[in-house]
Chain A
Amino acid sequence: MIAERLSPPTGAAPDGGLRFALGLRLMPGVLALFVMLAISVAALLALALRSNAGVSLTLLQERWFWHVLRFSLWQALLSAVLSLLIALPLARTLALDRHLPGRTWFQRLCLLCFVMPSLVLITGLVTLFGRSGWITPLLGGGWQLYGLPGILIAHVYLNAPFAIRVLSQRWQSIPVDAWKISAQLGLNGWQRFRLVEWPMLRTALPGVFGFVFLLCFNSFAVVLALGGGPRATTLEVAIFQALKFDFNPPEALFLACMQLVVAGSLFVLFSRWGGLQWLVAARAGDAWRPQVGMAVKWGGRALYAAVVAFLSLPIVSLVPAAAAAGRALPWPEIARATVFSVGFALAAALLAVALALAALSLWRHFDDAPRRRLVEAAAVHHLVIPGMVLSVGVYVLLMARVNWLEWGWVAIVLLNALMALPFVFVQLRPSMFEYDAQYRPLLADLGLQGWHHWRRVLGPFLAPALRRVAAIAFVLALGDFAVFGIYGNPSWHTLPWMIHALAGSYRLDEAAAAALLLLAVALAALCLLERARA
């Protein structure tokens, strides 16, 4: 096996021309890295400079702050535990029950739920569990959607499907030989679990748990809409309130620093616990798998049916309301909002993919772990930096020089691209790694480089992954609510803002219709994703 790096052999320093060519090839990566880091640093600095009184450390003595921090952690912990409790048995059923009906569609539904625009989900949940919701009469007099219950339902809805997909994929990745040996040795269910399944789970669970926890810890739109007041607020929402309502930069900066420290530490911790194979396209499990007992099989199928209902109901519940809206819908406005939404999301997705590819070109070039980690950190740190801080920081940094009413769309595209970047980068990296691990010597032997290499070999190799990540980035940006809230122009709306405005003026039927439309656009993009599995 050829494991060595294919750089000039020892003693053969690259000559001037070669060094220049190498530098030119690395330029996009260096530029991308600069953009990623500079925007975050500049946003934080801008807020710091705005905070004449410095960071508001007095908050450390306030009970309110500790309550917000405790609630942020508590709701994230509960959400992650509940999501995994649902995902574990169902992922096993998906992997082992070969005759489970509608498996492929279910996996698509899972993906759709994970990237579902929060406002669509919130509209659906209010229709189901709100004051006059379909299911509310069954829940007793004391039921209250707003607060911890609503946050947990929404978080489990968004994240359990992610955990199901990742874990079922890991279950399917157990080598068929391991299953066959366990069958041939006559191992019972417990022995098989301990020897074959647990070693896989042990490496996968920490990463999945950590990622779900982090997403819930940083949750914004769900908590803002369903939190129902100061008793159920997270750090991210508190930052928003500090900036939007009080315009109190010292407080926002302190909260943002706290969020960065806590979320950053958690991210480092979870990253060390184990890797995460993300949202790979669904694969048919046609390899041999052991038979499971009848009780396990039918128990799994019952859970499957329940989860299908749980995931479908918020979507289905929108249909009657949308139909009731009928011709009263403001179609010209909706069409305009759709065009803006698709345009912004498309531009943000393409930019996110371009940034990720540029960063990966640099990542490939480095053969030492520290420099590779630097590139990775630059590309994924937007997972832990509060989106609101990024948005407001850039806004105040440039507001003296830039007319945001005119140029706000640039910030919307750029910031949404940066927020989608971690998802894009982390999904593309394994493909690039696999490509290099498999073909690096062959590439060197054939002398394939530059555009010729990209067009004829690397491009076709990455194409399925690129389509997949572009679709995910598109849907994530499509649902943007926060960035548009800062930079949006009153003369044009996106679909999420239109839903928000319609719901805010109690035109719930019309909001449901707009939500369904947003969902249809997202679904179309994701169907493209699933087509890319070849």
Chain B
Amino acid sequence: MLEVKGLRVGRGGLRWQHDFALARGRVMALMGPSGAGKSTLLECLGGFVPPLAGEIVLDGRPLHGLRAEDRPVATLFQQHNLFEHISVAHNLRLGFRQGNPSAPQWRRVVDACELLGVADLLARLPGELSGGQRQRVALIRTVLRERPLILLDEPFGALDPDTRIEAGDWVRRVIDRDGKMLIFVTHDADDARRWADRTLEIGAA
């Protein structure tokens, strides 16, 4: 269970306060206009923006005192999710301990790659992929990492409608099966209706 209590976050002169909870196996969509602080909230949960006040508690353990490196969180950023100088397969492996996934872990990665149509790209460099392909590779690594809390910042933005549905359904299945928690940012109400259990609307500060 993720509990966010009186969490105050700021960027520039803007301030937001959040209170919500999310149970295991549940998905929450974050919606709101540009500049409303959606990404800032994800960055705060991930440890990249220090909170001004409040608490983040995951399964009874406070997260807000931990460095980003030590939080049990996997994040998909809006950009720069892949190292450009190493292969797609190498990038995928880095999601696991010491870059060495176990055989079952790697099997799941390969299955996901096949499902989302990127299995043939494993030997390529990220620069040789289209925007949608890069997005899917990064999505697979983020969602399959052994982390209970998954944060996705506009994960389906670069995908065509069919792939979007396929990728979103796959993410939802993984969350259900592994009992993880997912928070994702979207501008599309259909995404929220289809995959989220609840939606948090953030207005302008």
Q: Which residues of A contact B (CB under 8 A)?
A: 1-2, 4, 6-12, 438-439, 441-442, 444-449, 452, 456-457, 460-461
User: Would you call A457 and B68 a contact (CB within 8 A)?
Assistant: no
Q: Across chains A and B, which 5 residue pairs bring their CB atoms closest together, nearest first? A: A444-B68, A9-B50, A12-B65, A2-B48, A10-B50
A12 and B66 in contact, given A439-B83, A442-B77, A446-B94 (Cβ under 8 angstroms): yes
Question: What are 22 A-B contacts defined by CB distance under 8 Å?
Answer: A2-B43, A2-B49, A4-B43, A4-B48, A6-B48, A6-B67, A6-B69, A8-B67, A9-B50, A9-B51, A9-B65, A10-B50, A439-B83, A442-B77, A444-B68, A445-B74, A448-B94, A452-B98, A452-B99, A457-B83, A457-B94, A460-B86
Tell me how far the C-beta of A463 lies from the nearest C-beta in chain B, rounded to whole angstroms: 8
A residues less than 8 Å from B85 (CB atoms)? 460-461
Instruction: With CB as the reference atom, state the residue of chain A lying closest to B95.
Output: A446
Interface string of B65-79 (1 = CB under 8 A from A): 111111001110110
A4 and B99 in contact, given A9-B64, A12-B66, A447-B70 (Cβ under 8 angstroms): no
Tell me how far the C-beta of A264 lies from the nearest C-beta in chain B, rounded to whole angstroms: 37
A residues less than 8 Å from B98 (CB atoms)? 452
Chain B stretch 26-79: residues in CB contact (< 8 A) with chain A: 43, 46-51, 64-70, 73-75, 77-78
Instruction: Among A444, A452, A457, point to the contact of B48 (Cβ < 8 A).
Output: A444
B177 at the interface (CB under 8 A from A): no
Tell me how far the C-beta of B140 lies from the nearest C-beta in chain A, rounded to whole angstroms: 14
Assembly CA distance A264 to B50 (angstroms): 40
Assembly CA distance A444 to B64 (angstroms): 15
B residues less than 8 Å from A2 (CB atoms)? 43, 48-49, 77
Instruction: With CB as the reference atom, state the residue of chain A lying closest to B85.
Output: A461
User: Would you call A456 and B80 a contact (CB within 8 A)?
Assistant: no
Tell me how far the C-beta of A480 lies from the nearest C-beta in chain B, rounded to whole angstroms: 34
Instruction: Among A442, A446, A448, point to the contact of B80 (Cβ < 8 A).
Output: A442
Instruction: Among B64, B77, B90, point to the contact of A441 (Cβ < 8 A).
Output: B77
Assembly CA distance A452 to B94 (angstroms): 10
Instruction: With CB as the reference atom, state the residue of chain A lying closest to B78.
Output: A1
A residues less than 8 Å from B77 (CB atoms)? 2, 441-442, 445
Q: How many residues of B are counted as interface, with CB atoms below 8 angstroms from the partner's CB atoms?
A: 29
B199 at the interface (CB under 8 A from A): no
Tell me how far the C-beta of A441 lies from the nearest C-beta in chain B, rounded to whole angstroms: 6
Assembly CA distance A441 to B73 (angstroms): 12
B163 at the interface (CB under 8 A from A): no
User: Would you call B47 and A9 a contact (CB within 8 A)?
Assistant: yes
A residues less than 8 Å from B17 (CB atoms)? none
B81 at the interface (CB under 8 A from A): yes
Max chain A C-beta neighbours (<10 A), residue from B48, B49, B65, B86? B48
Assembly CA distance A7 to B73 (angstroms): 16
Q: Given A447-B69, A456-B86, 10 more contacts at CB 8 Å?
A: A4-B50, A6-B69, A7-B67, A10-B50, A11-B65, A438-B80, A439-B83, A445-B77, A460-B85, A461-B83
B residues less than 8 Å from A442 (CB atoms)? 77, 80-81, 83
A-B pairs under 8 A by CB, number = 73
Instruction: With CB as the reference atom, state the residue of chain A lying closest to B68.
Output: A444
B residues less than 8 Å from A452 (CB atoms)? 98-99
Assembly CA distance A137 to B81 (angstroms): 65
A residues less than 8 Å from B48 (CB atoms)? 2, 4, 6, 441, 444
User: Would you call B67 and A439 a contact (CB within 8 A)?
Assistant: no
User: Would you call B69 and A4 a contact (CB within 8 A)?
Assistant: no
Tell me how far the C-beta of A437 lies from the nearest C-beta in chain B, rounded to whole angstroms: 9
Assembly CA distance A319 to B47 (angstroms): 64
Tell me how far the C-beta of B138 lies from the nearest C-beta in chain A, rounded to whole angstroms: 9
A residues less than 8 Å from B81 (CB atoms)? 442
Instruction: With CB as the reference atom, state the residue of chain B lying closest to A6.
Output: B68
Tell me how far the C-beta of B98 lies from the nearest C-beta in chain A, rounded to whole angstroms: 6
Assembly CA distance A441 to B48 (angstroms): 7
A residues less than 8 Å from B43 (CB atoms)? 2, 4
Assembly CA distance A300 to B34 (angstroms): 50
Instruction: With CB as the reference atom, state the residue of chain B lying closest to A444.
Output: B68
User: Would you call B69 and A444 a contact (CB within 8 A)?
Assistant: yes
Assembly CA distance A1 to B90 (angstroms): 25
Tell me how far the C-beta of A444 lies from the nearest C-beta in chain B, rounded to whole angstroms: 4
B residues less than 8 Å from A7 (CB atoms)? 67
User: Would you call B68 and A456 a contact (CB within 8 A)?
Assistant: no
Assembly CA distance A117 to B86 (angstroms): 37
Instruction: With CB as the reference atom, state the residue of chain A lying closest to B64.
Output: A9
B residues less than 8 Å from A4 (CB atoms)? 43, 48-50
Assembly CA distance A452 to B77 (angstroms): 23
B residues less than 8 Å from A456 (CB atoms)? 86, 90, 94, 99
Assembly CA distance A8 to B63 (angstroms): 11
Assembly CA distance A444 to B73 (angstroms): 10
Tell me how far the C-beta of B89 lies from the nearest C-beta in chain A, rounded to whole angstroms: 12
User: Would you call A444 and B99 a contact (CB within 8 A)?
Assistant: no
Instruction: With CB as the reference atom, state the residue of chain B lying closest to A10.
Output: B50
Instruction: With CB as the reference atom, state the residue of chain A lying closest to B48.
Output: A2
A residues less than 8 Å from B67 (CB atoms)? 6-9, 12, 444
Max chain B C-beta neighbours (<10 A), residue from A441, A444, A445, A446? A445
Assembly CA distance A9 to B74 (angstroms): 18
Tell me how far the C-beta of A15 lies from the nearest C-beta in chain B, rounded to whole angstroms: 10
B residues less than 8 Å from A10 (CB atoms)? 50
Assembly CA distance A179 to B89 (angstroms): 38
Assembly CA distance A500 to B80 (angstroms): 53
A residues less than 8 Å from B68 (CB atoms)? 6, 441, 444-445
Assembly CA distance A224 to B127 (angstroms): 51
Instruction: With CB as the reference atom, state the residue of chain B lying closest to A452.
Output: B98
A445 and B46 in contact, given A8-B67, A456-B99, A457-B94 (Cβ under 8 angstroms): yes
Tell me how far the C-beta of A365 lies from the nearest C-beta in chain B, rounded to whole angstroms: 14
Chain B stretch 81-118: residues in CB contact (< 8 A) with chain A: 81, 83, 85-86, 90, 94-95, 98-99
A residues less than 8 Å from B99 (CB atoms)? 452, 456
B residues less than 8 Å from A457 (CB atoms)? 83, 86, 94
